[in-house]
Structure 1
Amino acid sequence: MRASATHRWTRGLLAAAAATVTLALAGCGSTAPSGPGGPPTSASTGASTATSPVISTTAMGTGSSGSGSLSASALAPDGSGSTDAAPVEQDLTGRIKEGVESGCTVLVDDAGTVLANLIGFDPTGVDVSGVVTVSGSFNPDLMTTCQQGRPFEVTTVRAG
């Protein structure tokens, strides 16, 4: 009698484990929108259909107090949402701060909002204690351990 109870318990445990694995794998399926305003449908090809918007950023002038602002809008170049275009060089103005993760540097606006995660930032020869203008381009495909801001590949940094 004992072997039968153990056998049933083992079968039940295996069935529960199989159901858990099946549900976990089902949750890994991706979805793709069926059209504008339509409900998502299951994608069976495994190919990614999601795209990121191209960000157009314009730095505003700075006053005598050294404060600056940034205007940004998410627009696709052709209105389709495609981001196959080459990165656009742009200027961001703000203050340099250390990120919360070790080795991460971010650019923040006057309110403390993170504008960008600065990749390749070299402070040599630049006074970064005040407002700076950073030139470069956003690279949303870049992998980083910094959890603040979108990756921004820096080409130049200048004070003010």
Structure 2
Amino acid sequence: MNETQRQAGTGQGILLLCGSCLPILGAVLLGPVLAEVQAHFITTPNVAALTPVMLTIPALMIAVFSPLAGWLADRFGRRRLLLIGLLVYTLFGTAPLYLQGLHAIVLSRAGLGLAEAVVMTICTALIGDYFEGRSRMLWLSLQGAVASFAAAVFFGLGGALGSLAGARRSGSMSPAS
């Protein structure tokens, strides 16, 4: 490590692990409620095709644009681009809350995938930058383990929240519950 690089600690490692979970969060929270999304937009043309696209398009964007994200990070700086990626992730991640049409939501999910490509790529690069030797191997291993664990937790959370929302919409649950 050269003298101009900062030595990272546990706090930075944990933040990078949390950032690495964001692409998983964006995908698995939606999976359990796809049938409800399709039912909600049943009058939209091609709903049967667009609903699964809404789930998978972020992964396609990650696969296609992660190399570009790495290049941009090298050119313009990792931390600055990471902060921009997190802001864009927030904007596109919350977009389905205020968008009305399925087509607009699918486009917002593509934008989310672009942001996920940036966040995921830079979190991994920063682990490589901030840690050395055994410490780097540990944090990269933890990144994979935490991401896998987060996927299981987020999938269950998505199903539970989807069931709760469905129960409230159908009236089988009182508003006080």
The answer to whether TM tops 0.5 is no
Q: Structure with the greater relative contact order (CA < 8 A, sep ≥ 6): 1 or 2?
A: 2
The structure with more radius of gyration: 1
Could you tell me the TM-score, scaled by structure 1's length?
0.21
Normalized per residue, the structure richer in strand is 1
Normalized per residue, the structure richer in helix is 2
